Structure 1
Amino acid sequence: MNKKWLSIPYALWSLIFSIIPIIIITIYSFCKRSPYGKIIYEFTLDNYKQFLEPIYLNVLWRSILLAAISTTACLVIGYPMAMIISKTSIKKRNVLIMLFVVPLWTNFLLRTYAWMVLLRDQGAINQFLIYLGIIKEPLQLLYNPGAVVMGMVYNFLPFMVLPIYSVLSKMDNSLVEAAQDLGATSGEVFRKVIFPLSMPGVVSGLIMVFMPAVSTFVISDLLGGGQTVLLGNLIQNQFLVARNWQFGSAISMIMMVLILIAIRISSKYQDEEGGGLW
């Protein structure tokens, strides 16, 4: 059988579920809107100009800021975890990796709802702090940007750990031993050998965490209580509430451009360093 025929199912899948939807969204983003929300197929840039208004730029800035904070937190927490896992025996390594992967098998909504139960005024965290006498009144742990960041870190941490672990586990230990033989301290070995060699995994992890973090809407809806509006919430509201598909499509295209830029940066590092998650 000709190998070209084997690629037809994949090509059809990409065409129907990726290319055509993107084309439709692109067309909608340049269309006008009637007073009742009907799509008018006349070219306009008003949808993109509308996004330049301060209120929407603030949403963009808030999305990038919270995504950057959560991504940084994932890196700070995830890198040591990835190093620890990569240095354990293969048997223990598989168990530790499984512990990171198993939560991903649980429904995303259920995991987020679980944190709502923990963070609410009568939740386990507040009750534990009151029991210890650290606080007298429940802390407002829910419905604020901090809760949103915490939800992002919890849900997306595996996407940081796994690519870094993938690179560290394949690293040539002879390079580390050579640096130690030359008199390098543990800190110097990490700064000049281990971390530079793990950069493909770090970049992959940064992209894999930042992209879903900047576009999430479930976490900000549930843990932010609708008070922390991100780009994902804005797109959701334009399609489902305001019935302004044109403006929602324009925001989606802007987000898509951000994703493509991030992927390009990631590909550049992986091409130069050779490696990454895949």
Structure 2
Amino acid sequence: MTKARTRALLLTPAGLWYAALLLLPLAVVLIFSFGERSAIGGYAPGFTFEQYANLPSRLAAFQNTLTLAPLGTLASLLIAYPLAYFLAVKVSPQWKTTLLVLVIVPFWTSILIRSYAWIFLLGGRGLPALLESFGLPEIRMINTPFAVLVGIVYGYLPLMVFPIYVALEKLDKRLLEASADLGTPPWRSFLQITLPLSMPGVLTGSMLVFILLMGEFLIPALLGGGKVFFVGNALVDLFLQSRNWAFGSAVAVALVVIMLICVGLYRRALGRFASGPDDVSLM
């Protein structure tokens, strides 16, 4: 048996699984997006671009998603990078496992429970009441974009930490030692050595968090209080409440197209850093 045939046989089960669970549902959604809403709700066969023409009616959901998803990704990155750097470079080996487990601990609890905890913390009897006790004016936190952003960062931070940690863990410490021996300031060594070599982890973590945030609906529903809609919330409304499957499919297709564009940009950026920087200058 040739290598090509052996490879094909080994890949066939995974390929069938991929086609059945990803490609086939996407094909169904694409077909539905050209249909119409039946009189009793659901889907009626047809071929029209009316659903795509109605996409601007959900512009607010797309704007919220395309604003808060990148902001949430950036905020997660700004918090996760120092934490991952500390775990990979500064912590002694005997403490690493313990601290990594502590990073994972929030995932042991349902995101629903964690979101309800933030409802209390950001509600009138939580942080606003604490700030008011110090003489500060009353600040509304819950049911705002800020609350959604806090929930996003809290919920997705571990997914950002681990890819960056893995990239930093593989960093050759001898490069930093050589840089120090040559008299390079620590901040310059970080910018010229550590950061470029950790970029694959940064890009992977950012894309992982961003893609998941694009489909998020629970955190905006709970912490946004129905005032901060994501595309995920619009899809829940269209498929389960108004039962406009055709329009919901068109919204889903538009979201998939946006994600594919982002993944394409990610792969292009990752290709530039796949083999590390071309020239690491220590002077």
**Contact 1:67 1:213 (8 Å CA) reproduced:** yes
Partner in structure 1 of residue 141 of structure 2:
141
Partner in structure 2 of residue 29 of structure 1:
33
Matches of 1:181 and 1:268, distance apart in 2: 35
What is the CA distance between 1:33 and its match in structure 2?
2.4
Matches of 2:228 and 2:154, distance apart in 1: 18
Counterpart residue identity of residue 43, structure 1: F
Partner in structure 2 of residue 92 of structure 1:
95
2:63 to 61, 64, 75: 61
Partner in structure 2 of residue 208 of structure 1:
208
Equivalent pairs, count = 271
Q: Mark the runs of 5 or more structure 1 residues left unpaired by the alignment.
A: none
Q: Identity across aligned pairs (percent)?
A: 35
Matches of 1:38 and 1:4, distance apart in 2: 40
Moved more, 99-108 or 242-251: 99-108
Partner in structure 2 of residue 76 of structure 1:
78
**Contact 1:47 1:250 (8 Å CA) reproduced:** yes
Listed as ranges, the matches of 1:189-228 within 5 Å are 189-228=189-228
1:129 to 128, 131, 134: 131
Moved more, 137-146 or 184-193: 137-146
TM-score by length of 1: 0.89
What is the CA distance between 1:195 and its match in structure 2?
0.8
**Contact 1:144 1:227 (8 Å CA) reproduced:** yes
Partner in structure 2 of residue 255 of structure 1:
255
Q: Deviations over 1:185-213 (max 9, x none)?
A: 11111111111111111111111111222
- The reply to whether residue 164 of structure 1 matches residue 168 of structure 2 is no
Change (3 A) 1:153 1:275: farther
Matches of 2:42 and 2:81, distance apart in 1: 49
Q: Mark the runs of 5 or more structure 2 residues left unpaired by the alignment.
A: 277-283
What is the CA distance between 1:127 and its match in structure 2?
4.3
- The reply to whether residue 105 of structure 1 matches residue 105 of structure 2 is no
Partner in structure 2 of residue 152 of structure 1:
152
Matches of 1:275 and 1:47, distance apart in 2: 44
Partner in structure 1 of residue 174 of structure 2:
174
Partner in structure 2 of residue 244 of structure 1:
244
Matches of 1:233 and 1:25, distance apart in 2: 17
What is the CA distance between 1:274 and its match in structure 2?
2.2
What is the CA distance between 1:101 and its match in structure 2?
1.3
What is the CA distance between 1:138 and its match in structure 2?
5.1
TM-score by length of 2: 0.88
Partner in structure 2 of residue 266 of structure 1:
266
Cα-Cα RMSD:
2.2
**Contact 1:200 1:275 (8 Å CA) reproduced:** no
Matches of 1:38 and 1:212, distance apart in 2: 27
Q: Deviations over 1:133-170 (max 9, x none)?
A: 31477532211111000000000111111111110010
Task: Say which SS state the counterpart of residue 40 (structure 1) adopts.
Answer: coil
What is the CA distance between 1:5 and its match in structure 2?
5.3
What is the CA distance between 1:8 and its match in structure 2?
5.0
**Contact 2:159 2:209 (8 Å CA) reproduced:** yes
Task: Say which SS state the counterpart of residue 141 (structure 1) adopts.
Answer: coil
Change (3 A) 1:275 1:94: farther
Q: Deviations over 1:6-64 (max 9, x none)?
A: 5554344323322221111111111122343342322211111111x2x4223212211
Matches of 1:161 and 1:93, distance apart in 2: 13
